Amino acid sequence: MVADSKGKSDISFAGTFASSAFAACFAEICTIPLDTAKVRLQLQKKAVVGDVLPKYRGMLGTVGTIAREEGMASLWKGIVPGLHRQCVFGGLRIGLYEPVKNFYVGSDFVGDVPLTKKILAALTTGAIGITVANPTDLVKVRLQAEGKLPPGVPRRYSGALNAYSTIVRQEGVGALWTGIGPNIARNAIINAAELASYDQVKQTILKIPGFTDNVLTHLLSGLGAGFFAVCIGSPVDVVKSRMMGDSTYKSTLDCFIKTLRNDGPLAFYKGFIPNFGRLGSWNVIMFLTLEQAKKFVKKLESSS
């Protein structure tokens, strides 16, 4: 993704993992208010005739409603498990990308890595990463899904660590992997859309006269990665959020069918604008930070 055309990384796996985790955490802190808005919009059921207007309307409207009713701090609900998630998932999916890509093309490969191999490598690392990190994703969604409560009603969880322990105590250890099916599908697909498209767009841009491996190239590549990720991954993202936020769904298929029957096909693109605002800005921040972090690590490793 940020290596040369032969797919050879110029820093160690540990350096790539640390750079990826740092960049992913920084992007998470900057953009989690948009993610909170996205989750609320995705979990909001379709209003029936005679009902009042939906509580949440649009990205900025949702952000404003949450801030007004619950306070600004509520926009960063789930930041602790979010950072847990990015340390594990972000480090693994990006850190393993180059080694897995090299494995698929073979050690003797020379030239530009085919797009199909990039997609396959990103699908693989996305699936591995989220399988390990699913508990952090579950806790993050549950904390974000809880809105303003009536006076005297206690919150379901007092914080991230309490959420982990409460889920294990009340629902069992296996419950931490609730929604693992759509989560693997969502994150493998989005990871492929992000990493493979960033890799491909950057490779294409660098072949255009006048473009170099600089901030502008990273910015354009990051925007492209975010757009492809949202277009491709939004339906599975909605199913994942609904399964994690509402335990009444029996399975991935059950959630998909009920969402389609009750809310219509457009429900799978609920929160598209905040999702793109989130993923687009997230990818730009993450990849810009990652490129600089890897340069810093390269200097440290070369001087040691």
Q: What is the pLDDT of residues 135-148, one digit of tens each?
A: 998 988 888 777 76
d(CA 103, CA 97): 10
60 in Cβ contact with 38 (< 8 Å): no
Residues 164 and 241 in one domain: no
Residues 160 and 230 in one domain: no
Classify residue 66: in a domain, yes or no: no
Residues 172 and 252 in one domain: no
Classify residue 3: in a domain, yes or no: no
What is the structure's pLDDT at 103? 93
From first to last of its 304 residues, the chain has per-residue pLDDT tens of 544 444 456 788 899 999 999 999 999 999 888 888 877 887 777 655 455 677 887 778 888 998 998 889 888 887 888 899 899 999 999 999 999 999 999 878 888 889 999 999 999 999 999 999 999 989 888 887 777 667 777 778 888 899 999 999 999 999 999 889 888 988 898 899 889 999 999 999 999 998 898 899 999 999 888 888 888 878 877 887 788 777 788 888 888 899 899 889 888 887 677 678 778 888 899 999 999 999 999 999 988 7
Residues 207 and 168 in one domain: no
pLDDT 10s digits, 142-190: 887 777 667 777 778 888 899 999 999 999 999 999 889 888 988 898 8
Residues 191 and 257 in one domain: yes
What is the structure's pLDDT at 47? 56
What is the structure's pLDDT at 105? 92
CA-based diameter of the chain, in Å?
Answer: 69
Determine the structural domain holding residue 171 and report its residue range: 80-147+155-178
Alpha helix ranges (H) inside the chain: 13-43, 59-70, 79-85, 91-95, 97-105, 115-145, 160-171, 180-191, 197-205, 215-245, 252-263, 272-303
What is the structure's pLDDT at 78? 79
What is the structure's pLDDT at 298? 92
What is the structure's pLDDT at 182? 82
What is the structure's pLDDT at 239? 84
What is the structure's pLDDT at 172? 93
What is the structure's pLDDT at 249? 84
Residues 212 and 127 in one domain: no
Structure tokens at 191: 């990871």
25 in Cβ contact with 287 (< 8 Å): no
Number of domains in the chain: 2
Classify residue 25: in a domain, yes or no: no
What is the structure's pLDDT at 5? 43
Classify residue 33: in a domain, yes or no: no
Residues 91 and 173 in one domain: yes
What is the structure's pLDDT at 174? 93
Q: What is the DSSP letter of 296?
A: H
